[in-house]
Amino acid sequence: MVIKIDSPTIPITEIEQSAFCQTDDNLKSKSLEDEFGAGVRWQKLPISYMRTSPDDLEKNIREARAALGSKVVILGHHYQRDEVIQFADMRGDSFKLSQFAAEQNEAEFIIFCGVHFMAETADILSTSEQKVILPNLTAGCSMADMAQTDDVLDCWDDLTDIMGSNQIVPITYMNSTADIKSLCGENDGIVCTSSNAAATFEWAYAKGEKVLFLPDQHLGRNTGLKMGIKLDEMIVWNPFKPLGGNSEKEIEESKLILWQGHCSVHTRFTVEQIAQARTAHPDVHVVVHPECTNEVVTAADSNGSTEYIKKLISEAPAGTSWAVGTEISLVNRIAAENPDKTVFCLDTVVCPCSTMYRIHPAYVSWVLDGLLEGQVVNQITVDDKTRKFSRIALERMLSVV
């Protein structure tokens, strides 16, 4: 019997996202055993770590960190919870952290407090002697999950059958698997981040007539519009339909082909939330991440990467008000670092990125203790062929700013 699936499969991490959305949570870490109550997938670890209080975990991490010294470097993405980011030797968005991973070659172990695609990228850009560790292997990214290798290969075959491979340049957002980055590297394409997306579009259109942009349709559309590409020159590729749901003619006439992926955190922001923020705070400046929909980006006063948002607010005059459309852990931190300004999240529901949130301090403590005992827990490795071509695409990204 053939089972027909009519509706697209939603990555499990996206389904789980709502389990982390609360109306009255201050996001302070609880013991991991208590957090397991959220009813989502977490990686199993020894029970003793689950029952250790957040205060004791903090003490354990400090001691293990001191004992390991310069053998270990901890990288922390801006969306990590406070109890984890406090241990980061380097904080940043995925672009800044990948630059750091490429530049530093002293530490034997890189503990990446972020999500899976970031740890893969660090493995690709670091030396062969360095080992990259992701504290919790269930810390993935629902957007990256939306571009499965086989689906993207099918899409690439269809597009190159219709147009030939030298007309179309693949660009993948950093938030994609190493396989997708490799496909871009092997086919004269590039990786981008939200910091350099426009520069990579310029780079790509100097080489070919069309761009296939993976996997975030919103960042692709927002960047395309910024570059002067019109909406009717863009098509969306739905991996669950033949030819992505487009005719050959539509594909031939398009300039920008957007993979039908999105971020489950940034697509929560709405134009109505912006209107409410303006009503409550008439002088408010609204800044959002370009993973938000184009309606939200258009209604906002400005948009940019997490590094851009952080810098914009920290350099603003005292007394200014900011409504921010990005992940709540970062918004709360910006608010705490700018006590002379009013900074709040556009979404009144407290909704951290469900996968970033899986890096609980218990996991950080567990992997550090493993290193003290001579065991590498949760190492992320990328195979040689994938590494070769994804590194090419990443090095192009690092050279295009």
- What residues line the site for ligand SF4 (CB under 6 A)? 79, 115, 141-143, 175, 263-265, 327, 353, 355-356
Tokens 């629902």 locate to 142
**Among residues 254 and 260, whose Cβ is nearest to ligand SF4?**
260
In angstroms, what is the minimal distance from the CB of 24 to ligand SF4?
A: 22
**Among residues 60 and 193, whose Cβ is nearest to ligand SF4?**
193
In angstroms, what is the minimal distance from the CB of 81 to ligand SF4?
A: 13
In angstroms, what is the minimal distance from the CB of 364 to ligand SF4?
A: 18
* Distance, CA of 96 to chain centre: 12
**Among residues 10 and 280, whose Cβ is nearest to ligand SF4?**
10
**Among residues 115 and 377, whose Cβ is nearest to ligand SF4?**
115
In angstroms, what is the minimal distance from the CB of 344 to ligand SF4?
A: 18
**Among residues 35 and 186, whose Cβ is nearest to ligand SF4?**
35
In angstroms, what is the minimal distance from the CB of 77 to ligand SF4?
A: 8
| Separation between Cα atoms, residue 84 and residue 353, nearest integer Å | 14
Do the Cβ atoms of 287 and 302 come closer than 8 Å?
Answer: yes
**Among residues 14 and 123, whose Cβ is nearest to ligand SF4?**
14
| Separation between Cα atoms, residue 275 and residue 286, nearest integer Å | 10
Helices 54-68 and 361-372, interaxial angle, to 10°? 30
Tokens 């030939």 locate to 164
CB neighbours of 338 closer than 8 A, spacing ≥ 6? 313, 314, 316
Residue type, 71: K
**Among residues 50 and 191, whose Cβ is nearest to ligand SF4?**
191
In angstroms, what is the minimal distance from the CB of 95 to ligand SF4?
A: 13
**Among residues 155 and 330, whose Cβ is nearest to ligand SF4?**
330
| Separation between Cα atoms, residue 373 and residue 108, nearest integer Å | 15
Tokens read off for 188: 């004269």
In angstroms, what is the minimal distance from the CB of 371 to ligand SF4?
A: 25
Helices 116-125 and 94-103, interaxial angle, to 10°? 30
The three-class DSSP label of residue 212 is strand
In angstroms, what is the minimal distance from the CB of 120 to ligand SF4?
A: 13
Name the percent of the chain in helix, strand, coil, to the closest 5. 50, 15, 35
**Among residues 68 and 122, whose Cβ is nearest to ligand SF4?**
122
| Separation between Cα atoms, residue 234 and residue 251, nearest integer Å | 9
The β-bridge partners of 172 are: 191, 214
Sheet holding 321-325, edge to edge: 302-303, 285-288, 321-325, 342-345
In angstroms, what is the minimal distance from the CB of 99 to ligand SF4?
A: 18
Do the Cβ atoms of 265 and 353 come closer than 8 Å?
Answer: yes
Within 78-163, strands assigned E span: 90-92, 109-113, 131-133
| Separation between Cα atoms, residue 21 and residue 347, nearest integer Å | 11
In angstroms, what is the minimal distance from the CB of 93 to ligand SF4?
A: 10
**Among residues 371 and 380, whose Cβ is nearest to ligand SF4?**
380
Residue type, 148: Q
